[in-house]
Chain A
Amino acid sequence: MSPISFEQLVVGYEFPSTSYQLSESVISKYLEAVGGQQHFLTSGIVPPLAIAAYAMTALSQSFSVPPGSIHASQELEFLKLVPIGTTISCGGKIAQKVQRGKLQLVVLEINALNQDKEKVLSGKATIVVPS
């Protein structure tokens, strides 16, 4: 699916859900990137920030992020342990889009569900976009 334009994003717009299988190789790659925390592999639990990263990527790939945009803030809540091997579905919506002078503030709500449709993570990201 081609990304929609930033202008097309309106409050309430729901992003299409994207699935990721969080296999051991996927998590190993993530852990190498963040520099360690190998205990996640031995405990068989997915690092919650890996889930957040996929949730954010799923949303950011759904629309064209204007150049100069800044990820200004992030809220996250980890609701449930996710075993390695779980397939998660990431989605979200536009919660807020407001003009502040020469900048636009966009608040994205994000969430991730496990294969039993239980919410494992939720959060909000604020993106500042030059207008």
Chain B
Amino acid sequence: MTQELKLSDIHQGDSLPSVVKHITQREINLYAEASGDFNPIHIDESFAAQTPLGGTIAHGMLILAYVSEVMTQAFGKSWLSGGKLSVRFKAPARPKDTITTSGKIDSIEYKEGVPYVNCSLESRNQKGETVITGGAVVKL
């Protein structure tokens, strides 16, 4: 795990370290095998070509793993136990896409003396289109 942020390091408006991933059909197939989700829209190129999507797409949960990676890099175990995430899948990620996932600290709240960090998160493809948008809360 990389250096975790401490409360004294965190300020409203700070950016979290980004994660950049290049998606290939190989990664999507690997994810299907690892997760057991073999929906043909992800892995069957000829089937997917006949659908309105026009081709295979990555599993939403694969892209969500990149969102969690941003939070893990920043907050470590505080994220892994006590983190909360809420996202919308806005557009599919496709093979050959490069997905950049970034985050920002929106606010720090105290509830009964305990600090909670509210973050906004998004994943965009190489065209700048939003793939995932949402927020996360982590208790420090």
Contacts and interface: CB of A to CB of B under 8 A. Distances in A.
Interface of A: 26, 29-30, 32-37, 39, 43, 45, 47-50, 52-54, 56-57, 60-61, 65, 67-68, 70-81
Contact of B35 (A54, A77, A79, A80): A54
B37 A34 contact: no
Interface in B4-56: 21, 27, 30-31, 33-37, 39, 51-52
Contacts of B69: 34, 36-37
A124 to B, nearest CB: 9
Nearest to A70: B89
Given A70-B89, A73-B87, A81-B80, A47 B65 contact: yes
A49 B62 CA distance: 9
A80 B34 contact: no
A80 B80 CA distance: 7
18 contacts: A26-B34, A32-B34, A33-B27, A34-B31, A34-B62, A47-B68, A52-B61, A53-B59, A65-B39, A71-B61, A73-B88, A75-B84, A75-B87, A76-B85, A76-B86, A77-B84, A78-B79, A81-B77
Contact of B66 (A34, A71, A75, A78): A34
Contacts of B65: 34, 47, 49, 53
Contacts of A79: 81-82
B72 interface: yes
A87 B51 CA distance: 37
A51 B62 CA distance: 12
B1 interface: yes
B93 interface: no
A47 B79 CA distance: 10
Contact of B80 (A60, A70, A78): A78
A76 B84 contact: yes
